Amino acid sequence: MRVKWATLWRGTKIALAVAIVGGVGWQFAKILRRPELWEQPLALDPLWVAVAAGLYAVGFACWGGFWWRLLRGMGEWLPLPLAARAYFVSQLGKYVPGKAVSVFMRVAYARAAGVRTGVAAITATYETLTTIAAGALIAAVLFPFLEAESSAMGWKALGLLAIAGIPILPGVFNRVAERLARPFVPKDAPPLPRLGFASLLGGLLQTSLGWICLSASLLALLHGLGRDELPWLVCTAYVSLSYVAGFLTLPAPGGLGVREAILQQLLARQFAASLGEQSAETFAVVVVLLLRLIWTVTELSLAAISAALPRLAPPNVRE
C-alpha cells in the first residue's frame, strides 16, 4: 500500500493543531476554574473595547496597504475596494493549519481582478514575510532594553528574526521566487519584477506601524480593565514576540494557543507584583482570551465589509 505523503502531512498538521489548541485550552480552563476569578465581577469599559478593535483594524490596514503599494510598484493596478477585499477576506485563510491558504486566497482574488498570477503571489508572500520580520525585529530590539534580566526572550526574538528575515533579503527572495514561479510562467512571458532594498526598508517601516497599532490595541484593552501600569513599549515587545511565534508555528491555525500561551506568561510576570502571582496568572488569561475575541471579531467584520465594497464601488472599478 503506497503512502500518500500529502494526505499524511495534512493529517499530521491537523493533529498538531488539535494538540496545541487542546493543550493550551486545557491549561487555560484549569486557571479559569479558580474561584478567585469569579469573586469579583469583570469591569470592562465598552469604549476601550471599541478603541482596541479600531486600533487592530488600523494595524491590519497598514499591512494590507504595504501589499497594495507593492502591487502598484510592480505595475499592477488593483482598485482599492478590490485590494481590500482580497487582503481582508484572505486573512481568514490563516485559520487553516499551515497558513498558506491565506496567500492562495489573496492570489486568487487578485488574479480574478486582472493581476498577473506571478506578481500577486510574489507580493502576497513578500508582504507576509516582511510583516513577520518587522515584528521579530521590534521584539529583538526592545527585549534587551526593557528586560535585561530576560536575555532568553531576546535570543528567542533573534531566532525568529533569522527565520523570517533571511527570506526577505532581496538577493535571497528574488532567486527563490524566480525558481518557484518558473513552472507556472510561460516561456514567452516577460520576466517577473524584482524587489530591491527600497521595498524592504519601506516595508519594514510601514509594517512596523501596524505592530505599534496592535500593541496599542492591547494597551487599550488593559485600560478598559482598569490596569494602566504597563508601558507601551513593553506591550509592543510582548505582542510582537507572541504574534510572530504563533504565526511561525505553522500547525497552529491563526497562531491559536501559541500566541495566547506566550502572551499570558509575559503579562502574568508583569502583573505579579501588583496582583500577586496567582491573581496575575488568572488576570493574564482573561486578557489574552478577550484580546483574541476582539481581534477575531474585528477580522470577521473587516472581511464582511471589504467583501461588500466592490458591489458599492462605481462600475469602472468592479470586476
Task: Record the cell numbers describing residue 285, joined without a space.
Answer: 488569561
Does 41 reside within a domain? no
Counting Cβ atoms within 10 Å, is residue 197 exposed (0-12), middle (13-18) or buried (19+)? exposed
Tell me: the pLDDT tens digits for 171-226? 777 777 666 565 555 666 666 667 777 777 888 899 999 999 999 999 999 999 98
**pTM of the model as a whole:** 0.81
| Other C-beta atoms lying within 10 Å of the C-beta of residue 68 | 21
Q: Are 55 and 295 within 8 A, CB to CB? A: no
Q: Inform me whether the pLDDT recorded for 319 exceeds 60.
A: no
Does 201 reside within a domain? yes
Query: What gap in Å lies between CA 207 and CA 126, rounded to an integer?
Result: 12
Does 37 reside within a domain? no
Query: What gap in Å lies between CA 233 and CA 230, rounded to an integer?
Result: 9
pLDDT at 216: 96
Q: Are 255 and 243 within 8 A, CB to CB? A: yes
Write the DSSP symbol of residue 230.
S
Does 40 reside within a domain? no
Q: SS3 for 313?
A: coil
Tell me: the pLDDT tens digits for 20-31? 455 545 554 554
Counting Cβ atoms within 10 Å, is residue 43 exposed (0-12), middle (13-18) or buried (19+)? exposed
How many structural domains comprise the chain? 1
What is the distance in angstroms between the CA of the first residue and the CA of the last residue of the chain? 47
Does 152 reside within a domain? yes
Does 39 reside within a domain? no
Does 165 reside within a domain? yes
User: Could you list the residue range(s) of the whole structural domain that residue 241 is in?
Assistant: 5-32+46-317
Q: Are 263 and 242 within 8 A, CB to CB? A: yes
Tell me: the pLDDT tens digits for 128-160? 888 988 898 888 888 877 765 555 666 666 677
Tell me: the pLDDT tens digits for 95-120? 776 667 888 889 888 988 888 888 88
Does 298 reside within a domain? yes
pLDDT at 51: 97
Query: What gap in Å lies between CA 257 and CA 180, rounded to an integer?
Result: 32
Tell me: the pLDDT tens digits for 230-246? 888 989 999 998 898 88
